[in-house]
Structure formats: C-alpha cells, structure tokens
Structure 1
Amino acid sequence: MKNVIGVTRRVALLPAMGVGLIYPLAQAAERKVKALETPALKVARPTLAAYQAVTRADKRLVAVGERGLVVYSDDAGQSWKQASVPVSCTLTAVRFADAKRGWAVGNMGVVLTTDDAGESWRRCLDGQTAAQLSLVAARAQLEASKPGSDAMAQGNLLVEDAQRLVAEGADKPLLDLAFIDDGSLWVVGAFGMAFSSADGGRSWKSQIHRLPNPEGLSYYGLAQRNRECLLYGEQGLLVRAPQAVEPYTADTLPSNGSLFGSLALREGPLMLLGLRGKAWRSAEPGAPWAAVQTPVDASLVAGTQLTDGRVLLAGVAGQLLQSHDGGQHFRPLALSDRFPFTGLTEAEDGSLLLVGMRGIMRLTANELKTAAAPSSPAPARKSPV
C-alpha cells in the first residue's frame, strides 16, 4: 500500500541522516503536539495573512488559514475581525450548516466547531483521537471476518495501517468536510483518512474501512449533489455513493490527474477541478464525466456560483475563470492583481471575496463586471482588502 511504502522509506532514511538529527525530529514532533494546545496568536494585519478557504454564514463571511487563523466580516469583506481559536495549526476548510453553527478542519487531524457564527471555536477532534478510532474500527472489521477470507486479509491491512497512524501521532491533515444528506458530518484528508459524526461532532466513527481506496490515497475533497456523495483526491481518486447510506464504489475519470476542488451547481450539474487546469462536468447523478476545456494550464482548486447563475473558478496561479452556460465553457477575467488563490465566495452585496497565499482580495460587483468585459483593460483597484 502506498502509505506503508512511504513509512518504510522514512524509516530507512534515519540511519543515513545521523543520530544528531533525531533530537531535532523529536523537537518538531513536540511542536506539532503543542500546536493542538496553543491558541492562535493575534495578528496585526489579518487581511495579509495566508488563507485556505472562505465561506458564508448567512450574511457573515468567515475565512480560515495559517496557524489557526480565523477571521470574519459583517460588512461584505470591507473589514475583518479575528476569532478566538484554541489551536495554532493551519486550517484548510470551513463550512456552515446555518447562520450560527459551523465546522473547520485542518492540520494535525483537527476539527473545530462554532455555534456563534465563527467568533469563537472549540476543538471536537484531533489526529490522535482519530487514529485511535481508526484502530477500533479496523479491529472490529477483522474480528467479524471469516478466517482465510479476502475480508480477513483486508482487515489485517486496515489494522496495520491504523496501528501506524497511532504510532505516528497527530501529524495527518484533514482537508475537507461536508454535511451528508443522512444528517451526518464527514471529514476527509491525507492517506485516506475519513471520519463521520451523527451528532454534530460530539462523537466520531472511522469510515476508512467503508471506502474503496486500497492504496490509501489522499482525499482532497467531498462533493454532494442531491443525495449523491463523492470523495475525490490524489491521482484521480474518485469514489461515490448514489445515496449516503449506500456502499461507496470506485468511479473513474478519463484522466488520472489529481482532483483538488468541486462545485455543485443549482441546476444539477457537478464539476470537479484538478491538475493543470483540468475540469470535469457531470450533468446529473450517475451521468458520465465530460472534460471541460479551460484556457489555463495551472491547477484549479475552487469554484462558486453567483446569484445570477454565473460560474467562477479560481486557480493556484491567480487565474479567475467565468462561465455563462453552467460550466460548459470558460474564459479568463482580467484582474489588476493576482496571487495563488485557494478559495472564493460571493458576499451578500454581490462582491466577490478571494483568499489565498497573500491574503484577501475583494472585487465589487462593478469591478467584477469590468474584469469580464471582452475588450476592457484590467480595472484599477486596491488589493488586498
């Protein structure tokens, strides 16, 4: 299995590294553990920090990023306040179920929750607890397997992997989360990690054994369309269930490039975004995936659909693409400033908020319109916020 091979290689390197480096490695592990116990530091200029994701909580905007940083805005992104966060590890994704209740995931297997629209957060899962949950689930599957069966062989592999997770500690990142139609909350991440909660994060179950991912490839995201649920990620990994309660099966794309983002459109189509500007579109649940041509060759990582129906995609090279036909064709927008984008969302007033490695960029509705004009120069504007 891929993740087992990776561990073997790391162990094999230790003698060549020399005993003198073992102590720094131990120090690094200790710093990681402390990141779970150390609150996020206050920053002087939060709009210039590095962010991984941004979303809406009703009228409020909430962004998450490096070292546990969470900020929120109640004026469509014109000003931001920093939230109280109990960890200082990087946060990678954030979602809200309603105007008050939200969850965020990040490095060290951390899951945070809020019930005050993102002003304060508390920890409800971390990598150490998640690894123990994986071991419990793997042992249960092994005990239920018939001696000598394929299920027993698979159970043994799951137990070995879970034991490795426990031994390595809280060092695996969670990369996305979603609310599934059966009412549960799912979180996924590196090395095939997947966990669910039926009670808003108070208790968790490992779902690793349910998913057809024998190589332990990383999940970069979750997509939900009607009652269909998909998990996607490394090397074109794609598994789906027609309904959340049904077994997950492997799905395939015509390409094995990694998938980094997704977008479910209100009209029904679902888009997957990936490596080297690749995008795929499925018109309805169970429909085949069709390649979408885009005018860029750098990875696409996030998308949003505006109130007026336009579809926007963002890329790691600072591209912003727009579609007027439900994600079937795209053209680039002219931006006066750009940086590696990681997330985007529309504010209540129609402005667009983009986040990434250099902070937060805000485009008003008029600036967005100007950037989309076929023959107009890039609009002059102040950026970041």
Structure 2
Amino acid sequence: MHFSHARSRSKQRPLPIESLSMKHPLAMLGLWLAIASSAFSAQGQNTPVKEDAQHRWTHAPSKVDPMRGVFFAATQAGQRIVAVGDHGLVVLSEDGKTFKQAQKVPTRSPLTSVHFHDAKQGWITGHDGTILGTRDGGEHWDILRQERGKDEVLLSIWFADAQHGFAVGQFGLALETQDGGKTWERRTLSTQTHVAEKHLIHLFPGRQGMLFIAAESGTIFRSADSGKTWQAIQTANKGSFWTGKALSDGSLLAAGMRGHVYRSQDQGLSWTAAVSGTQQSLTVIHERQDASVLITGTGGTLLQRAGVHQDFKLQTRGDNASLTGVVSHASGDVFVSTAGILRND
C-alpha cells in the first residue's frame, strides 16, 4: 500500500504557505486553531504521506493543487462534491477523483461550512460574517452577507427548504433567513448571557422539525419547533462539541474535543457518553447509506462503526493530517483535510 500525491493540473500559482490559516488563526475556537496548527505543521515540514495498516490513501488530483489546500468542509450538490476551505477556496468534482476550482468566489475569507438544498442551490459560511450563495451547483457564488471589521465568524449553515435557513457561529451568533439568504435577522437562543454567548459550532437537523446545535462547554441547543424557540441541554461533557448528527435509527450522536462522543436516544433531552478509543478531537460525524457511521478527527483520526450496537474502530492516517469532512460518493468515500483532498481506496 502506498500514499501518493496527485499532481496539480492547474497553471494557477499555488497558495503560499504564509497565506494559509496560520497567517490569520481561525477565530478563537479550539477547532480551527487545532486544524490551522496541523496544516501549518504538515505543510511546513513537507511531511511524506505514509501507509495506513488498513487503508491505502491517495491524494485526488486537483486543478487547485489540494496538497496546498486547507479544507474545512464538504458536501454534495446532487452527485457533485463541493469542498470549501481557507483563503476563499471552493473546489468541485463530478467523479470524486478530479477537482476543479469554482469559477467565481468573491471572497478570500476562510470558508467554514457548506450546505446545498438541492443540486443547484447552496450556501457557504465563513469569516467576516460571510455568507455566500449559488444557484448553479457551486460554479458561481455571490455575497449574500459580509461584515468586515467586526470579527464575526460563522461556522455552520443549514436550510430547511429553499427559503428558510439558519447560520450560527462564534459568541452565540445566530442568524435566520426567510428569503433564501437575501436578508438575515439575528436570533438569541437564551435569555441567560453566559448561555447565549456560547460558541455555536455545528447546526444539524433531527426529525419532524427538530434542530440541534453542537456548542461549547458540552452544551447542545435543542429546538422542537423548527428554530422558533431553543433549550440549552447541558451534558456531562466539559469540552466543546464540534459536530452532531441525527442517525437513521432515530438516535443522535455528538462529538468533539478530546475524543468525546455522546449519544441520545430521546431526541436530545439526555445524553450518555460512548467509547471512542481516542483523545484526538473529532470534527465530523457522517452516516453512509448502509447506516454505518464514520467520525473524522484531528491527527489523522478516523472512527468507523458498522452497526448501532457495535463499538467504534479506530484508524489513523500515517501523516496525522486532520480530517475535516467526508462525502460518500458513488466512487467511494472522499475526505477533505488540512492536507488536501483524500480518497480512501
């Protein structure tokens, strides 16, 4: 088994190391600091890609040189993969193997999350309070919102339909739109200041209008009425949750700092700890169509669970690149990371 780097097909000049995340550390959240630190370390030392005992990882070729790209999130727009990252980076792939840069991205701010309602309409969040929108599957993006100079960091976005959506971020920043992102209104999730100002890191939907937000200090925000009102649920976790997912079996998973994984079987009212087998921080929970679960993490961490009643199995990338997202494409699992775009072949 061998890890190989793909050659870039771009004539575009690679982004210089100093332009990446360590030039402007990604907010004050441990998540982005850890990711930025890993990215700088991996690139600055030119760490070779090593073998993994169970998987052969290869770098997918990219027109923007993903070996130089620092990615923070990925999703699908129909069958197309859309990945976003540092320095306004947006790349697209039809086959999960070759990637091209989006034709128009009107910002150089770090981009932190991406969501598509269908194959054409999608949104991206980022630093400077940035929200971008597309109506052509990610080829062209327009600025829907931006607040330069206010140190606003948006970390997650989700839409219930083509018009109604939410974006959340640092220091309790919560926004809602009813017109597809053209205008946004601020929302307060709690009347208690110490709760209302918690970092809101990942927004995810549940069943029948349920919404959840993975937040700092072991807090999960829960809404049973499509985001009209919110309840702060304090778990036994003392660290921040970075990700969450409503699974097809009706349960919820949340994960984050120091390898903590928590599970809820009552729609988020109570949470119990699960064994992860790692102390690396966990970034994204992903469920495949066969109901198997992947959890990505820093330090090259990948947890896999084949079934509901099975334990997570730990695997680690040889070069310790932080995995920040995964998409299960028809061609196989595609991961985004601080070291670029990777395939698990």
Tell me if TM exceeds 0.5: yes
2:49 aligned residue:
none
The CA deviation at 1:106 is 0.4
8 A contact 2:299–2:316 mirrored in 1: no
Matches within 5 A, 1:354-365: 354-364=335-345
1:222 to 185, 203, 212: 203
State how far apart, in whole Å, the 2-side matches of 1:182 and 1:63 are. Answer: 20
Q: 1:196 to 1:268 in 2, by over 3 A?
A: same
State how far apart, in whole Å, the 2-side matches of 1:178 and 1:117 are. Answer: 16
- C-alpha deviations, 1:281-317, integer Å up to 9, x for none? 1124245211110110111110211122210001111
8 A contact 1:311–1:327 mirrored in 2: no
Gaps of at least 5 residues in structure 2 are: 1-22, 25-61
Greater relative contact order, per chain length (Cα 8 Å cut-off, separation 6+): 2
Larger mean Cα displacement after TM superposition, 256-265 or 330-339? 330-339
SS of the equivalent of 2:171 reads helix
State how far apart, in whole Å, the 1-side matches of 2:340 and 2:247 are. Answer: 27
| One-letter identity of the residue aligned with 1:60 | R
The CA deviation at 1:218 is 1.1
Q: 1:200 to 1:183 in 2, by over 3 A?
A: closer
2:284 equivalent to 1:302: yes
Gaps of at least 5 residues in structure 1 are: 1-27, 30-41, 129-168, 365-385
2:257 aligned residue:
275
Q: 1:239 to 1:287 in 2, by over 3 A?
A: closer
Q: CA RMSD in A?
A: 2.3
8 A contact 2:64–2:101 mirrored in 1: no
1:82 to 88, 91, 101: 101
State how far apart, in whole Å, the 1-side matches of 2:111 and 2:309 are. Answer: 29
8 A contact 1:302–1:315 mirrored in 2: yes
2:178 equivalent to 1:198: yes
2:214 aligned residue:
232
1:314 aligned residue:
296
Q: Which consecutive segments of 4 or more residues in structure 1 shift more than 4 A?
A: 334-338
2:125 to 99, 105, 124: 105
2:270 equivalent to 1:291: no
Q: 1:286 to 1:176 in 2, by over 3 A?
A: closer
2:165 equivalent to 1:185: yes
| One-letter identity of the residue aligned with 1:172 | E
Aligned residues: 282
8 A contact 2:162–2:180 mirrored in 1: no
8 A contact 2:252–2:268 mirrored in 1: no
- C-alpha deviations, 1:336-370, integer Å up to 9, x for none? 55411111111123x11111111111113xxxxxx
1:120 to 134, 140, 144: 140
The CA deviation at 1:333 is 3.0
- C-alpha deviations, 1:122-171, integer Å up to 9, x for none? 0001125xxxxxxxxxxxxxxxxxxxxxxxxxxxxxxxxxxxxxxxx332
The structure in which a higher percent of residues are strand is: 2
| One-letter identity of the residue aligned with 2:171 | F
Q: 1:327 to 1:75 in 2, by over 3 A?
A: farther
1:331 aligned residue:
313
Rg (Cα) greater in structure: 1
State how far apart, in whole Å, the 2-side matches of 1:101 and 1:335 are. Answer: 34
Q: 1:218 to 1:327 in 2, by over 3 A?
A: farther
8 A contact 1:212–1:248 mirrored in 2: no
Matches within 5 A, 1:1-385: 44-76=64-96, 78-83=97-102, 84-127=104-147, 169-180=149-160, 184-208=164-188, 210-212=189-191, 214-215=193-194, 216-226=197-207, 227-326=209-308, 329-333=311-315, 335=317, 338-349=320-331, 351-364=332-345
- C-alpha deviations, 1:194-244, integer Å up to 9, x for none? 101011101111103x43551212111112101211222221232211222
1:9 aligned residue:
none
SS of the equivalent of 1:333 reads strand
Q: 1:287 to 1:207 in 2, by over 3 A?
A: closer
| One-letter identity of the residue aligned with 1:234 | E
| One-letter identity of the residue aligned with 2:143 | R
Q: 1:327 to 1:280 in 2, by over 3 A?
A: farther
State how far apart, in whole Å, the 2-side matches of 1:49 and 1:291 are. Answer: 34
